[in-house]
Structure formats: C-alpha cells, structure tokens
Amino acid sequence: MKVDLFRSDERGRGEYGWINIRYSFSFADYFDPKRERFGALRVCNEVVLQGGAVLGPVSHQNLEILLMPLSGSPGLATNDGCIRNITAERPLLISAGSGIEYSISAAPGTEPCRFLELWIFPDRKNTEPAVLQVPEPDLRQSGNLQVLVSADGNDGGACIKQQARILRLKIREGNTCTFQAAFQGSNLFVFVIGGKVESAGFTAAAGDALAVAECSGIRINALNDCELMLAEVPEA
C-alpha cells in the first residue's frame, strides 16, 4: 500500500467569476505530469457555480461522470430535453457511453452551487448513454455512510460501468472508521469535504485528499466532525 497526500493548496485553479474550479488532477489549462489521473479516476473537480450561471453545453464520450452536490441544488439539462434537479442526497451519474451533451445550471437569485465532479473511465465503451439518479439514501452505520455508485447497484447506489464504488461518509469527532475494499488491488481516493482526519500517518483537512494505491483496507480517524468522499477504482 502506498499513500500520497494531495494538499488543497496544491490543486490547480480555474477562476472565471461565474464559475470557480479546483482541480485535483490535470484539467483544462492546469497540467501536472505527476497528477494526470489516479487509476481509472481521471477527474476530481470541486466546482462553485454562481447563481444564474450555466456550464455548457458540454459533450463527452466513454466516461462515467458523477455530479455530487455539497451545497445548493444545481440542475442538469441533457440533449434529449430532460431537466433534472441534483441534490446532496441524490447525486447524478452520467454514463456518457457513445456520447451525451448536457448543461449544468444554478438557479438565478440563489446562493452558489458547490459540487464535486468525478470522471471515471468505464470498463466498456460506446454503450447507450444514460443519466442515473442515485436512489434515496440507503444509510448505514447510524446514518453515516451512503453508497452513491457501485458496480452492480445492489448496495443502494446507482450502477456504474466499472469495478468501482463511490461513497459519502460522515464520522464524528474521536471516532474511527475502517474501510474495506470491495475489489482486489483497488485504489482508494479519499477527498475531505469538511473537517479533519488522520490516516496512514497523514493528516488531511478540507480540500485535501489521500490517494491510496493497492488498498485492501484503511483506518480513518476523525480529529473533528468530518465528511468524506471515497472513490474506489481499479488501476486502469
């Protein structure tokens, strides 16, 4: 097991006024040859979209894209005319397949929407495009764990076209969570949404991330109340 710490202040920046983005991996005008991806995880962007702003239309192929709101409720409009509201409890998984076009918007007169945007390479290509809303929360461990996406969708998440899982986890101060990988040889990317944690000898605060290669399991200690996004992905 190898662990790398991604510091928040080391992330790339895209600041345009109507939208501000922090890039964990190379994206747009930001390039870091050491951080082009982490296994099948290609993108982890933290996006702040101002009220009334629209991102897109953009088009993608052969990507599994999760939009995970942290505050506010952005809307998604796809090229088939469907409009969907995205909430913290019910993120959206865009399975781009052979190609999909969409726009993300924040309603006028509202507070900015803040969300994570994750891109994962699928294990099959040119499938039928689809937009899947994460089911109503299936909360376990006293309501602190939500499976957002999984390979088969049987544990409460939307079904992703990859041997991968994405989870949202809350841990109270002083408590410890032990994460067990679902797939042998997985990589685990732990993004700190809020709070501070200690794991594998590293301390990570909001905006930081731990990239754990070949992770069979890991213990995460909450130094204060914290919220995390965990992405378990294969090497490629």
CATH number, domain at 86? Answer: 2.60.120.10
Cα–Cα distance for residue pair 199/217, rounded to 1 Å: 11
Q: What confidence tens digit (pLDDT) does each residue in 37-59 have?
A: 999 999 999 999 999 999 999 99
Q: Please identify, among 86, 107, 133, the residue that sits at the C-terminal boundary of a domain.
A: 133
Measured CA distances, 218 to 110, 186, 212 (Å)? 39, 12, 9
Query: How many structural domains comprise the chain?
Result: 2
Residue numbers of the domain that contains 38: 11-133
In terms of domains, do 126 and 159 share one? no
Give residue 138's pLDDT.
54
- In the structure encoding, which two tokens stand for residue 104, read together? 């993300």
Length of the chain: 236
Give residue 137's pLDDT.
72
Q: Look at residue 5 and tell me if it is in a domain.
A: no
Q: Please identify, among 99, 133, 167, the residue that sits at the C-terminal boundary of a domain.
A: 133
pTM (two decimals):
0.95
Q: Look at residue 2 and tell me if it is in a domain.
A: no
CB contact at 8 A, 5 and 208: yes
- In the structure encoding, which two tokens stand for residue 197, read together? 């944690």
In terms of domains, do 128 and 149 share one? no
Q: Which residues of the chain have pLDDT under 50?
A: 141-142
In terms of domains, do 42 and 128 share one? yes
Nearest to 212 by CA among 188, 195, 177: 188
In terms of domains, do 111 and 35 share one? yes
In terms of domains, do 157 and 99 share one? no
Give residue 136's pLDDT.
79
Q: Look at residue 138 and tell me if it is in a domain.
A: no
In terms of domains, do 114 and 35 share one? yes
Measured CA distances, 40 to 21, 90, 118, 120, 182 (Å)? 21, 23, 11, 5, 15
In terms of domains, do 77 and 127 share one? yes
